[in-house]
Structure 1
Amino acid sequence: MDTIQKPQIRRRWTSILIALTCMLLAFAPASPSLAKTKKSSKMSNYTKVKSAYVMDAKSGQTLYENNQDKKLPIASLSKMMTLYLTTQEIKQHKLKWTDKVAVGQNLIKMSKSYSLGSFKIKRSKQYTVKQLYQAALIASSNSAAIALGEAVTGGNNAKFISMMNQQAKDWHIDATFVSSSGLDNTDLKHYGLQLPKTSGKAQNMVSAKAISIVAQHLTAAFPQITQWSEKATSKIDNQTLVNANALLKSGTYYRASNHLTGLKTGYTENAGLCLTVTYWRHGRKLIATIIGSNTAFTAMNGLITHVDKTVNATDVTEKPQTFKLDGRQIDAQPATGKATVWYRKNQDPKKIKITNTLTASKLPVKKGQQVTMTRYNSTGLPSQTNQGETATKTVTKPVANQGNAGGRNWFSQFFSGIDKMFSHLF
Structure 2
Amino acid sequence: METKKRNWFVWLLSICLCLTLWPFQATVKAESAPLDIRADAAILVDAQTGRILYEKNIDAVLGIASMTKMMTEYLLLDAIKAKRVKWDQTYTPSDYVYRLSQDRSLSNVPLRKDGQYTVRELYEAMAIYSANAATVAIAEIIAGSEKNFVRMMNEKGKELGLKDYKFVNSTGLSNSDLKGFHPQGTSQDEENVMSARAMATLAYRLLKDHPEVLETASIPKKLFREGTDDEIRMDNWNWMLPGLGLVYGYEGVDGLKTGYTEFAGYCFTGTAKRNGVRLISVVMNAKNASGKTTKEARFEETKKLFNYGFNQYSLQTLYPKGYQLKGKEKLPVAKGKEKEVRVKTGKKLSLLVRNGEEKQYKPVYVLDKKKMTNEGKLIAPLKKGETVGYMTLEYKGDDSLAFLSPDMQKNIRVPLVTTVEVEKANWFVLSMRAIGGLFADLWTSAVKAVKGWL
1:72–1:372: structure 2 CA closer, same or farther, 3 Å change rule?
farther
Instruction: Decide whether aligned partners of structure 1 residues 356 and 47 sit closer, same or farther in structure 2, where only a CA change above 3 A counts.
Output: farther
Counting only pairs closer than 5 Å after superposition, residues 177-192 of structure 1 correspond to structure 2 as 177-188=167-178, 190-192=179-181
Query: Which amino acid is the alignment partner of residue 103 of structure 2?
Result: S
* 1:254-287 per-position Cα deviation (integer Å, ceiling 9, x unaligned): 345x311121111001111111111013312111
Q: Does the 8 Å CA contact 2:203/2:280 hold for their aligned counterparts?
A: yes
SS at match of 2:279: strand
Counterpart contact for 2:277–2:315, Cα < 8 Å: no
Over aligned residues, Cα RMSD in angstroms? Answer: 3.3
Map Cα deviations across residues 29-50 of structure 1 (whole Å, 9 max, x no partner). xxxxxxxxxxxxxxxx851101
What amino acid sits opposite 1:349 in the alignment?
E
Q: Compute the displacement of 1:360 (Å).
A: 12
- Alignment partner of 1:351 out of 360, 385, 401: 360
Equivalent of 1:201 in 186, 189, 197:
189
What amino acid is the match of 1:47?
Answer: I
Residues 207-237 of structure 1: per-residue CA shift (max 9 Å, x gap): 1121122112222233232222122211221
**How has the CA–CA distance of structure 1 residues 202 and 64 changed in structure 2, closer, same or farther, with 3 Å as cutoff?**
same
Quote the residue 1:327 is aligned against.
Answer: none
CA contact (8 A) 1:75 1:271 kept: yes
Q: Is the 8 A contact 2:248 2:299 kept in 1?
A: no
Q: How does 1:302-321 map to 2 (within 5 A)?
A: 302-317=304-319
Q: Deviations over 1:111-132 (max 9, x none)?
A: 1112223211112112111111
**Matching residue of 1:404:** none
Residue 274 (structure 1) aligned to one of 264, 267, 275 = 267
The amino acid across from 2:305 in the alignment is L
- Residue 245 in structure 1 maps to residue 238 in structure 2: yes
Which residue of structure 2 lines up, in the alignment, with residue 13 of structure 1? none
Contact 2:107 2:129 in 1 (8 A): no
Q: How many angstroms apart in 2 are the aligned matches of 1:262 and 1:360?
A: 43
Please tell me whether the aligned partners of residues 253 and 298 of structure 1 are also in contact (alpha carbons under 8 angstroms): no
In structure 2, how many angstroms separate the alpha carbons of the residues matched to 1:133 and 1:243? Answer: 13
352 and 252 in structure 1: CA distance in 2 versus 1, 3 angstrom threshold: same
CA contact 1:46–1:303 (8 Å) conserved in 2: no
Equivalent residue letter for 1:121? L
Q: Residues 19-64 of structure 1, C-alpha deviation per residue, up to 9 Å, x if partnerless?
A: xxxxxxxxxxxxxxxxxxxxxxxxxx85110111111112111111
Instruction: Name the count of aligned residue pairs.
Output: 326
> C-alpha separation between the residues in 1 aligned to 2:351 and 2:301?
25
Check 1:359–1:147 CA distance in 2 against 1; reply closer, same or farther (3 A cut). Answer: farther
Shift of 1:351: 2.8
**1:218 alignment partner in structure 2:** 206
* TM-score normalised by length of structure 1: 0.69
Deviation string for 1:177-197 (max 9, x for gaps)? Answer: 111110122123x1522341x
Q: CA separation of 1:378/1:185 partners in 2, compared to 1, >3 Å: closer, same or farther?
A: same
The equivalent position to 1:149 in structure 2, one of 130, 133, 139, is 139
Q: d(CA) in 2 for partners of 1:123 and 1:359?
A: 61
CA contact (8 A) 1:100 1:126 kept: yes
CA contact (8 A) 2:365 2:390 kept: yes
8 Å Cα contact 2:136-2:171 kept in structure 1: yes
Shifted more, 70-79 versus 117-126: the winner is 117-126
Query: In structure 1, what is the Cα distance between the partners aligned to 2:239 and 2:139?
Result: 28
Per the TM alignment, residue 133 of structure 1 is displaced from its structure 2 partner at its CA by 0.9
Matches within 5 A, 1:365-376: none
Q: Tell me the SS of whatever aligns to 1:262.
A: strand
In 1, Cα distance between the equivalents of 2:152 and 2:214? 24
Match of 2:155 among 166, 169, 180: 166
**Whole-Å separation in 2 of the counterparts to 1:358 and 1:131:** 51
Structure 2: distance between partners of 1:390 and 1:349: 18
Gaps of 5+ in 1: 1-44, 322-332, 362-370, 393-426
Matching residue of 1:337: 347
In structure 1, distance between residues paired with 2:134 and 2:101: 8
**Matched position secondary structure for 1:50:** strand
Amino acid at match of 2:211: P
Q: Out of 396, 401, 405, which is 1:378 matched to?
A: 396
- The structural deviation recorded for 1:200 is 2.7
Contact 1:185 1:199 in 2 (8 A): yes
Deviates further, 227-236 or 125-134: 227-236
1:263 maps to 256
Which of 208, 212, 218 does residue 230 from structure 1 map onto? 218
Amino acid at match of 2:354: R
The 1-side partners of 2:61 and 2:267 are apart by 13
C-alpha displacement of 1:380:
4.7
Counterpart AA for 1:274: C
Q: TM-score by structure 2 length?
A: 0.65
The percentage of counterpart residues that share the same residue type is 30
Shift of 1:304: 1.6
Q: Deviations over 1:264-314 (max 9, x none)?
A: 111001111111111013312111111111211112112222333433332
Structure 1 240/286 Cα, relative in aligned 2: closer, same or farther at 3 Å? same
In 2, Cα distance between equivalents of 1:166 and 1:115: 31
- Per the alignment, residue 364 of structure 1 pairs with none
Task: Find the aligned partners of 2:391 and 2:91 in 1 and give their Cα distance.
Answer: 41
For residues 85 and 282 of structure 1, the distance between their equivalents in structure 2, rounded to whole angstroms, comes to 30
Contact residue 239 and residue 246 of structure 2 kept, 8 A = yes
